Structure 1
Amino acid sequence: MIHLALLRGINVSGQKLIKMDDLKRSLEGVGFGNVRTYIQSGNVFVQTPETDPGVVAGQIRTAIMNSFGFDVPVFVIGKDDLEACVERNLFLQEEGVDLKKLYVSFISTEVPDQMITQLNLNFIEPDKIQLDGRRIYLKYHSSPAQTKLDNKWIEKSMNVQSTTRNWNTVTKLLGLF
């Protein structure tokens, strides 16, 4: 089975530097097959007979800790999950939406839809969010560099871990499955 692993916080601002060739060798060394990476921000496809995404995430996390000494949150999703992600983004239905301002945060646990009423959304305005199970769709008013709506806010407000990808990367990853 092919899984996509999204690694959080590697190769960002000079932190937790991992060369993708080294990561590939490490994961192959613990038994993953057909290991492929996409760009330097921690997007890794692996093949394994294991079907449980949580088990695969744990195996990858352990391999990274053993090889590089970093504890890195790992989010593992399948092709069906990524297809659903692309299909369910309601921001895409808006006329004239700027795809460069759309992002998706993949989160560690499912967040109930009613949680949105409990959040202080005034804090992140004019940016917008949409909850969808283990995904949060983000639409930035200007850019992610000029927002309060970041992984720190998501993690603190929703008591989850998260990793974020821009919409271009999400659609590219789907095409690579």
Structure 2
Amino acid sequence: MAKYFAFLRAINVGGRTVRMERLQEEFAALSFSSVETFIASGNVIFETRVTNEKLLGEKIQRQLKQALGFEV
């Protein structure tokens, strides 16, 4: 499995508070494994078998917009 780092914007700024546990749950819902977050900035490390980075970005954006109600 490949390890990826996601550096999300608009997390815990401008009144958009997201608990890191919630963020981990949303990444796990995408079937990513070994999901970890660092500080409350939206930095996420995860593993997946998917290797298409564009597809990964699109999947993450869709999942988070649906779950959180705003784009990241």
* TM-score where L is the length of structure 2: 0.88
Deviating 4+ runs (over 6 angstroms): none
Letter of the 1:24 partner, please give it: Q
Q: Partners in 2 of 1:59 and 1:17 — Cα distance?
A: 21
TM-score, normalised via structure 1 length:
0.38
Q: Which residue of 2 aligns with 1:32?
A: 32
Mark the runs of 5 or more structure 1 residues left unpaired by the alignment.
73-177
SS at match of 1:17: coil
The residue number in structure 2 matching 1:3 is: 4
Contact 1:11 1:41 survives alignment (8 Å): yes
Identity of aligned residues (%): 32
User: Which position in structure 2 is the counterpart of 1:49?
Assistant: 49
Take 2:5 and 2:39, find their aligned partners in 1: how far apart are those partners? Answer: 13
What amino acid sits opposite 1:47 in the alignment?
A: E
Shift of 1:28: 0.5
Q: Which runs of 5+ in 2 are unaligned?
A: none
RMSD of the TM alignment (CA)? 1.1
Please state how far the C-alpha of 1:34 moved relative to its aligned partner.
Answer: 0.7
The letter of the residue matching 1:21 is E
Displacement after TM superposition at 1:22 (Å):
0.5
| Distance of 1:60 and 1:42 partners within structure 2 | 12
Name the counterpart of 2:70.
70
Higher relative CO (CA 8 A, sep ≥ 6), structure 1 or 2? 2
1:56 shift after superposition: 1.1
User: Residues of 2 paired with 1:70 and 1:9: CA distance?
Assistant: 9
Q: CA deviation at 1:12?
A: 1.4
Deviation of the 1:52 alpha carbon? 1.9
User: Equivalent residue of 1:40, what SS?
Assistant: helix
Question: CA shift at 1:48, angstroms?
Answer: 0.7
Instruction: Report the residue type matching 2:28 in the other structure.
Output: E
Which structure has the larger Rg? 1
Deviation at 1:13, TM superposition (A): 3.8
What displacement does 1:6 show?
0.5
Structure 1 residues 65 and 13: CA distance shift in structure 2, 3 A: closer
- What is the identity, as a one-letter code, of the residue corresponding to 1:5? A
Distance of 2:39 and 2:30 partners within structure 1: 22
